Amino acid sequence: MRYRPRHGRSGRDTLGSKPMSASIDRYVSENEARFLEELKELLRIPSISTLPEHNGDTHRAAEYVADKLRGAGMENVEIIETERHPLVYADWLHAPDKPTVLCYGHFDVQPPDPLELWETPPFEPAERNGNLYARGSADDKGQMYSHIKAIEALRAVQGKPPVNLKFLLEGEEEVGGVSVAEYVAKNPEKLRADVALVSDTEMYAPGMPTLNIGLRGLVYMEIEARGPARDLHSGLYGGAAPNAVFGLVELLSKAKDTAIAALEADGILEAKKGKVRLLRRKELGADWDPKADSRPTVWEGTQHLIRRLEESGEEAAADLLREMGSLAEVARDLAYRLFSICEKKKWADEAISYNGLVVAWPELTRRASSGGKKKAEQQELLP
């Protein structure tokens, strides 16, 4: 992602009390070409943590970022060797009485296959339409590198960062991050911080700065289902003897209650004559009430929001948004996911609908919260 400084902005720096960072913007734009070259150098290192033949490259990426941390004025920079790939630690702790921010990122990348889907080679960064294309440019070298350059810029312009800083970067995020988990567990004091800044995430849409306040993890499990030791005659045993494959399918569908009957009861699909299909947005009931729905789904929320927005406008959609409560945020996430899928599949109409919801989102949330207040006030006036 490319940084485009905006000039002539006024306002206040959110980190300190000094007038807003026009001079930081200037520093960044004056050094943009160098920042970009440095990032490209990092992106050229094929630090693929899943492939042992690239272990040397992953180590080289660690050395590269350690070097840049030193260059940005960070102290106590160390490369911590582990069983697999190294960690990089650094700190700067000279802002007494100020909070401590722990910055996390990773310098390893996923393998670049399938190679034929790349327009330009994955480890040869290329600029197109103001974007930088390379493996790791958006996960996570680009974001991680912006942290380091932010500190360099703050130091260059303001003399020092406004807060205490710690960095913990890893080289095996793409293979499960075992070493970082062990290291964090063993070093609570060293890593103590008031806030952790993780930018191994994404923006909802181009040009929409996004603050992710929660991330999910993964749970792995292995399920073994055993059936009869020999073939059983279908006429004699069929239906009565449990079938291992069927058992697994049933188990999976029950895990999230996505069995067909449950989804039919939700009113989002139709199962007739052996055919199952998702209902179209227009086929969903027009008067959906998330509070009356015993099992409101994110899918329904997203579809109904779009329907309200397209048919009745922002105020009506904002009313529904307010009713949806905690389902709302996830509905926006789903809209953005579906937008990406539809865009890739070239389903233009659907892509426009999902995009419409994402774009209208700030306005909808604004209306939802101010509308809520208005209603509360009315209630006070009319007890």
Q: Which residues bind Zn ion (CB under 5 A)?
A: 139-140, 200
Nearest distance in Å: CB 357, Zn ion: 26
Of 143 and 355, CB closest to Zn ion: 143
Of 140 and 172, CB closest to Zn ion: 140
Q: Is 314 a catalytic residue?
A: no
Q: Which of 38, 91, 108, 323 is catalytic?
A: 108
Nearest distance in Å: CB 343, Zn ion: 22
Q: Give the Cα separation of 364 and 306 in Å (integer).
A: 11
Nearest distance in Å: CB 216, Zn ion: 13
Task: Give the closest residue to 1 by CA, choosing from 149, 183, 117, 104.
Answer: 149
Of 139 and 172, CB closest to Zn ion: 139
Nearest distance in Å: CB 135, Zn ion: 11
Q: What are φ and ψ of residue 208, in 5° steps?
A: -115, 95
Q: Is 108 a catalytic residue?
A: yes
**Contact (Cβ atoms closer than 8 angstroms) between residue 132 and residue 39:** yes
Q: Give the Cα separation of 281 and 269 in Å (integer).
A: 11
Count CA atoms within 13 Å of residue 329 on its CB side: 7
Burial class (CB in 10 A: 0-12, 13-18, 19+), 47: buried
Q: CA angle 366-324-198, nearest 5°? A: 70
Q: Which of 38, 173, 174, 266 is catalytic?
A: 173
- Report the length, in residues, of the chain: 383
Of 143 and 164, CB closest to Zn ion: 143
Catalytic residue annotation: 108, 173
